[in-house]
Amino acid sequence: MNGRFPIEMHIMTLLCTADDYLSSDYMAGSINVNPVLVRKELSNLIKHQLITSREGKNGGYTLSKPATSISLASIYQSIKQGNVLGQAKNQPNPACPIGKQINNHLKDLDNEIEQAMLNKLGTTNLAEFCNKFD
Amino acid sequence: MNGRFPIEMHIMTLLCTADDYLSSDYMAGSINVNPVLVRKELSNLIKHQLITSREGKNGGYTLSKPATSISLASIYQSIKQGNVLGQAKNQPNPACPIGKQINNHLKDLDNEIEQAMLNKLGTTNLAEFCNKFD
DNA sequence: TTGTACTGTAATAAAAAACATTACAATTAA
DNA sequence: TTAATTGTAATGTTTTTTATTACAGTACAA
């Protein structure tokens, strides 16, 4: 796993608690990662319509809708890639009866588990998450 | 995520369907990864008491208990490391009120989600998983 | 109309993680 | 006593992740 979800959650929390547009450099300073990496996540969040941006001087980013209608599942969905339970690089041996079928069965299992995660993430929205902060 | 869970599931499935000890080289051939990597996972499974080994000629590996009493959650537990939802390398800025607290809140969230995954994985045992194979 | 503060993105480099390979000691059956 | 095997350390290669540099485009404001 990489740090994309924590970074996106950090971005969304900052935007949720801010009362004006925030710049990528400001957010990078709070998260403490490279500003370009933050801007890549911001691009991704825009693509998924969770935030909007304003270019030029005094530009920045803001939530595209009320925090109460942004579920943590939708944030997770925006970064999800591959299998939650991991995936091996190599194809199992197709000459082996187990090897031939296991990827399908593991994929089914992965889908089930991912659904359970999403269900749980879907029970909390961004506003509720931000309320945990003093 | 890495390929450890798929590899361990593959190992456990092979051992579940075999009626004698299997060697690490045979299993590596079915999984199609380096034998040393397989032996590392086998070591780990032994450490977690899910399998046992026999050294020397005609040695190999076998399940340490009936497949019906090995839950997929216990296999997952043996490889789990860090956060399911990922973790950033850098510490957030402690001078920022959000940065100061976010790791704790993300950790709580991660624990909740991991528990949901484990609950779901706990509903299936190895024998049931292996029954899916023709 | 020009400077400044931003977004947006491409290209490249560095660091870290994952995986492969080689090597060999220890064990045990035949 | 030979051959097949586990167990593990050390090292190398490849892939992924993160950081850095660079710069074009946009918009505000003096």
Mean pLDDT, residues A80-94 taken together: 94
Instruction: Compute how many other C-beta atoms are within 10 angstroms of the C-beta atom of residue B34.
Output: 11
Q: How far is B38 from chain A (nearest CA, A)?
A: 12
- A3/B93 CB distance under 8 A: no
CA B52/CA B61 separation, integer angstroms: 6
pLDDT attached to residue B118? 98
Confidence of residue A101 (pLDDT cuts 50, 70, 90): very high
Mean pLDDT, residues A111-127 taken together: 98
pLDDT mean by block of 10 residues, chain B; 134 residues: 94 97 98 97 98 97 98 97 93 96 98 98 98 96
| Residue ranges of A 21-50 with Cβ closer than 8 A to chain B | 29-33
Model confidence at A64: pLDDT above 80: yes
Q: Which residue is nearest to nucleotide D28 (CA to C1')?
A: A57
Mean pLDDT, residues A97-112 taken together: 97
Residues 67-86 of A with CB under 7 A from strand D: none
Q: How far is the CA of B66 from the C1' of D14 (A)?
A: 39
Mean pLDDT, residues A108-133 taken together: 98
Mean pLDDT, residues A105-128 taken together: 98
Residues above pLDDT 90, as percent of chain A:
96
- pTM listed for this prediction: 0.95
Which chain C positions come under 7 Å from a protein C-beta? 3-11, 16-23, 26-30
| Residue ranges of A 49-88 with Cβ closer than 8 A to chain B | 72, 76, 82-88
Mean pLDDT across chain B, nearest whole number? Answer: 97
- Per CB-CB distance under 8 Å, the chain B contacts of A97 are 133-134
Contact A72, A129 (CB under 8 A): yes
User: Which pLDDT tens digit goes with each residue over A12-42?
Assistant: 999 999 999 999 999 999 999 999 999 999 9
pLDDT attached to residue A81? 92
Question: Among B1, B91, B132, whose Cβ lies nearest the Cβ of A86?
Answer: B1
CA B55/CA B61 separation, integer angstroms: 9
